Chains A and B, each alone.
Chain A
Amino acid sequence: MNPVVDVKDLETTFFLKSGPFRAVNRISYSINQAETLGIVGESGCGKSVTSFSLMRLIDRPGKVTHGQALLNGKDLFKLSEPEIESVRGGQMAMIFQEPMTALNPVLTIGFQMNEQIEKHLKLTKKDAKDRAIEMLQLVGIPSAAERYDNYSHQLSGGMRQRAMIAMALSCNPQFLIADEPTTALDVTIQAQILELFQNLQEKLKMSVQFITHDLGVISEVSDKVLVMYAGQMCETGPTQEVLTSPRHPYTAALIESRPQMGHRIDRLKTIEGSVPAPHELPVGCPFSNRCSRVKSECWTIKPAFVNITPTRKIACFNPL
């Protein structure tokens, strides 16, 4: 079976005054039907840029400079502007990091849902409204018919994120990108949204790209995981395997630096240093200046991203 989403050698560059900056550097992954890929990595490692690249929402001075992104075999980067518009919000939808600001404050929730539904499902106003209310009910918004006429400032943060999810799912997408959908919410709401998310995915059989820097969330929602560092791939594989026996030192460091339930510790382990600025990126492995297992070749040669088992890949000369 062909994967629904197949990204190959994606490279996105920002042409800044200080010179070109490669925010995403040759990333490849694929997602099957009803499968969830989790993408993790520290802030600034290029998770959002990867997602926006697929959505073709990268604006000047940024540009996708290499690679392809196949959605059901069709290269998203080769589509014309009207073609990509008919895919966005239809076959492919995205939920954003910030529910507070992602909705238009001067249009009602219903109006914002309707315009999308009318466009992609080609429904009449009346049917689109029914569909929108049905979706609001599906994501667990109480008295959906009234909420339909509300403005975003009349909803709580959790409600807004639910409305965003309802909106993203309203046109039966096959591929959903969720960019840290719960980061801005408090923990109880976060748990509710995650549960809702999993239920819906099972029901709708979507392929999901779930972005987060919370490994706990990843282990709950995703089938496989891709670990990114400074715009590059470090490690990928089935979630449970990667989280229980990480092979790349960066993955291991990420796992160690998160608090464990039931363990009382005086100090959390942190990864020394921070993500290097683009012009300070080491010549060899991008993680070499922070790595505890660094070897001499790490400084000069970039490790290839290769299979270590049929389902797992890493880019490291000295894996765990």
Chain B
Amino acid sequence: MTTFILRRLLQTLVVIVILSYVCFGLMTLMPGDPVEMMISANPKISTEDIVRLREFYGLDQPVYKRYLTWVSDITSGDLGYSRTYRIPVTEMMGPSLRATFILSVTSLVFSLLVAIPLGIACALKPNSKLDYTINLFNFAGISLPSFWLGIVLIIIFAVKLGWLPAGGYQTTGMSYPSWWNEVLDKGKYLILPVVSLSIQSIGRFSRFVRSSMLESLRNDFIRTARAKGMSARVVIWRHAFRNALIPLVTIIAISFSSIFSGALITETLFAYPGVGRLIYSSIMGNDFNVAMISFVISVSMVLIMNLVADILYGVVDPRISYK
């Protein structure tokens, strides 16, 4: 088991290095390096100065050398400065990452809480009216683009009804007497982004739950469990769902990365200060250091969740052993 995890971690690391190198290369192709921005800010700058500045920033070096410098910097904990905000990247990343993480995890939990009962209800009465109705909504959920849904939600609940804030993270100037007030206030800002981010995964998950539950319920051991006198609840959850979970776990873990990347888009829509908005604004503002780190973190997240999927697979299925 440990060697399996170590081997997979190593693979993951290699993929991150390759991808970040590619990304680094692409970034250098973007028009506008720091020196060019200085030139545009101060057109009177002399040619010698430009050469000196380029040397100073290492921009005269080939890409792979600059990449190596960058890697050795970040591995020693120096993430550089944001060019736009003039503060260390570490200070910006922390809160953004946390915000994105909260958004994605809430959305994942919410999707599962909704999708699992829906999927099971369908599987218990396949081809019933209930099944068809839920299926219809699932398809609608899967096919609606989440940014479009986000806009509709904002129009209805924020603009027309005024029940929920249209965007942001917390009420500005609000002070929190207790943690509970904080949760309540911030929760209000989470509702619309979470819903618009979750609709797709609800559709996807509940279809997966339905088919894997149907499969599971057809097994002989379900009849055995019933013949032992187990109640319907025990048969459904302990015997059927426990088995349906095996294929689900992988799908859920992999979906987390797609929720995470979905969150990046949703954030820009709801002006939610997470990594997504950071990436967007850093790329728009040519903020190289911020963009690179955000990118590396997003990629790592996807890869790590895949690893988690593999590990969980072994946990839920005793027939699999990692040797």
Contacts and interface: CB of A to CB of B under 8 A. Distances in A.
Interface of B: 219-221, 223-232, 234, 238-239, 242-243, 246, 316-319
Contacts of A105: 221, 243, 317-319
B227 A89 contact: yes
Contact of A93 (B223, B227, B230): B227
B223 A96 contact: yes
B221 A104 contact: yes
Interface string A81-98: 110011111100110101
Given A89-B228, A103-B221, A107-B239, 15 more contacts: A57-B223, A57-B227, A81-B232, A89-B230, A96-B224, A101-B221, A102-B220, A104-B224, A104-B239, A105-B243, A106-B243, A106-B316, A115-B230, A116-B230, A151-B318
The 3 A-B pairs with the shortest beta carbon distances in the complex, nearest first, are A89-B229, A89-B228, A88-B229
Contacts of B243: 104-106
B242 A106 contact: yes
Nearest to B234: A115
A167 B232 CA distance: 19
Contacts of B223: 57, 96, 102
A192 B84 CA distance: 81
Q: How would you classify the secondary structure of chain A's contact residues: helix, strand, loop or mixed?
A: mixed
10 contacts: A88-B229, A89-B228, A93-B227, A98-B220, A102-B221, A102-B224, A108-B318, A119-B228, A120-B229, A153-B318
Interface of A: 55, 57, 81-82, 85-90, 93-94, 96, 98, 101-108, 112, 115-116, 119-120, 151, 153, 164, 167
Given A106-B243, A106-B246, A151-B319, A94 B227 contact: yes
Nearest to A120: B229
A85 B230 contact: yes
A81 B231 CA distance: 9
Nearest to B232: A81
B216 to A, nearest CB: 10
B242 A119 contact: no
A51 B299 CA distance: 57
A88 B231 contact: no
Contacts of B319: 105, 151, 153
A104 B317 CA distance: 11
A112 B228 CA distance: 9
A88 B225 CA distance: 10
A151 B318 CA distance: 7
A106 B317 contact: yes
Contacts of B238: 107, 115
Interface core residue of B227, B246, B317 (most chain A CB under 10 Å): B227
Nearest to A94: B227
Contacts of A57: 223, 226-227
Nearest to B222: A104
A57 B224 CA distance: 10
Contacts of A98: 220
A86 B228 CA distance: 9
A88 B234 contact: no
A55 B246 CA distance: 30
Nearest to B316: A106
